[in-house]
Amino acid sequence: MRNVLVSPQSNRSRSVTRTYMTFGFALSVLIACGGGGVEVTNSDTASDVTTTDESFSTSTATTGDITMDGPILGSGPTLDSGPILGSGPIPAPPFAGTIFLDPDIITADDPSAFESIAYDGIALKRMFDRRANAFISLDAHIFQALYDDGLSIELQVNTEFSKTEASTEADRYARLFGQLPTLLRRDVDTSWIHRGVKPWGGGNRNLLVHTGQAEFYFSSGIAEETLIHEACHTSLDANYAAAPGWIAAQQADVNFISTYARDYPTREDIAESFLPYMALRYRREAISDEYATTIENTIPNRIQFFDSIVKDMYPLE
Ligand SMILES: [Zn+2]
């Protein structure tokens, strides 16, 4: 069971998030999130790499790096415009994007399945880099991270980092990945770690990290929540995004938990819905009653679907 925090959970990074979070920024991060948007074909040539995440390519290719603009709007629940089934053709999703729902669903103090990490030298690797928006082949520092549930992840750190810097980054992310439940870490074979202010990503049996972006995620308290989202792309999408049970749940719920899920229902709905589900079932004390009710009322059938497939949530339980 979790070591439940007795101190009020609201005094931590919540206020920081409210300060940092702007709707425009939130949306541009989300839009750029990419998740499973990078698909690899069987060829090694860069021209055969297709980016299916059209929102990512338009938002970054045309506007450059993420910009912060505007006041806080829509990052919390909008109960009055929320899910009222049958009252209109398309109910409004209650959230803009769920990684911003609450920074305390998982925090730095939560347990990690991380066990050990070892440096394994430098090797030529093929890695996706959002700065190039392409797969590149380069020498990478290799680290092997082991977890106490028997899983392992190979961290491939760009040699733009010195060995010492790479070790620091690898240590940080190896532990952070260990906070992901077994279910979400299961298909994570590797992680690509680069510099750069670019959104993190999932898919490709990998977790993609840009350390420049990490500063925002950590200062806002949502690094853990963002990783949950990305790891859903890596470990859940392939099995469930097109599953009949999931499609039926989407149709029965009618609404979506977020506008990001609604706008990309095949690519983002699982990742957007799972974090609120996880909060509801495994971190209920971290979210407000208002949020919990909103989640329950908006995606009851998706919750039921997750209940039927979710297991191996260590170290959350
Ligand atoms: Zn995503």
Expressed in angstroms and rounded, the spacing between residue 275 Cα and the centre of ligand 1 is: 11
Tell me how many degrees the CA angle 136-138-142 measures, rounded to the nearest 5: 120
Expressed in angstroms and rounded, the spacing between residue 73 Cα and the centre of ligand 1 is: 21
Three-state secondary structure call for residue 174:
helix
100-126 burial, b for 16+ CB within 10 Å, e for fewer?
A: bbbbbbbbeebebbbbebeeeeeeebe
Expressed in angstroms and rounded, the spacing between residue 242 Cα and the centre of ligand 1 is: 16
How far from 71 is each of 22, 26, 75, 77, 96, CA to CA, in Å?
5, 11, 10, 16, 14
Q: Residue 227: enclosing H or E segment and its boundaries?
A: helix 223-235
Q: What is the mean pLDDT of the chain?
A: 79
Q: Which of 16-20, 142-146, 229-233 is predicted with the least confidence, judged by mean pLDDT?
A: 16-20
pLDDT over 80 (residue 23): no
Expressed in angstroms and rounded, the spacing between residue 203 Cα and the centre of ligand 1 is: 9
Percent of the chain with pLDDT strictly greater than 70: 72
Give strand pairing partners of 157.
141, 193
pLDDT bucket at 275, cuts 50 / 70 / 90: very high
pLDDT bucket at 317, cuts 50 / 70 / 90: confident
Rounded-to-integer distance, Cα 223 and Cα 103, Å:
8
Q: Residue 271: enclosing H or E segment and its boundaries?
A: helix 269-282
Q: Residue 226: enclosing H or E segment and its boundaries?
A: helix 223-235
Rounded-to-integer distance, Cα 226 and Cα 234, Å:
13
Expressed in angstroms and rounded, the spacing between residue 202 Cα and the centre of ligand 1 is: 7
